Amino acid sequence: MYCQIQSFIDDYKQESEKTLQIFKALSNESLTTKVYPEGRDIETIARHIIFTISDMFKYLNINIEVINKNEKLKSVEEITTKYQITVQKLLSGITEILKDEMLEDEVEIYGEHWKIKNVLHSFLKHEIHHRAQLAILMRQAGLVIPGIYGPSKEEWKDYGMEPEE
């Protein structure tokens, strides 16, 4: 959990760069890839990641809507641009509105009462969760997944090593 707003900002800056790496590794052709017919495709998950930023932080009085929930994003460029704008607005809003002493305050979110520090924590884990879903769909689409926390299968060769089983 977070004891300081700056700790969340530092973590989110790192994690949002990793999400951006994943987004930039997508292809326009891959955006319709899904695991099963009723499942979410890559574009839907990417849009969900972006939309959730504004959706969760509106409960903290940070209003940053860049896209609406049902707005289809038509290209990797549009996804990356909208994400970058949304992240920048979020970081600016957090700096302006949230203070360390507010982290223990409770807000009503999704019909429950959460401490602000829990909102920040859950938000970050939510993005990481959906980034992992994208990695699976990217593999199915034949894309190379960038190494986020270490080398991906394809990147082991850059280290002169065989991929681990």
Mean per-residue pLDDT of the chain: 94
∠74-76-77 over CA atoms, to 5°?
95
- Write out pLDDT tens, residues 101-147: 999 999 999 999 999 999 999 999 999 999 999 999 999 999 999 99
Within 10 angstroms of residue 102's Cβ, the number of other Cβ atoms is 14
Within 10 angstroms of residue 42's Cβ, the number of other Cβ atoms is 25
Q: How confident is the model at residue 153, as a pLDDT? A: 83
User: By C-alpha distance, which of 128, 150, 136, 110 is closest to 34?
Assistant: 136
Beta strands (DSSP E) in the chain are 106-109, 112-115
Q: How confident is the model at residue 18, as a pLDDT? A: 98
Percent of the chain clearing pLDDT 90 (strictly above):
83
- Write out pLDDT tens, residues 44-57: 999 999 999 999 99
In angstroms, the CA 32 to CA 63 distance is 30
* Strand-pair partners of 108: 113
pLDDT at 19 over 80: yes
Catalogue all structural domains in the chain, each as residue range(s) with its CATH number. 5-159 (1.20.120.450)
| pTM assigned to the model | 0.93
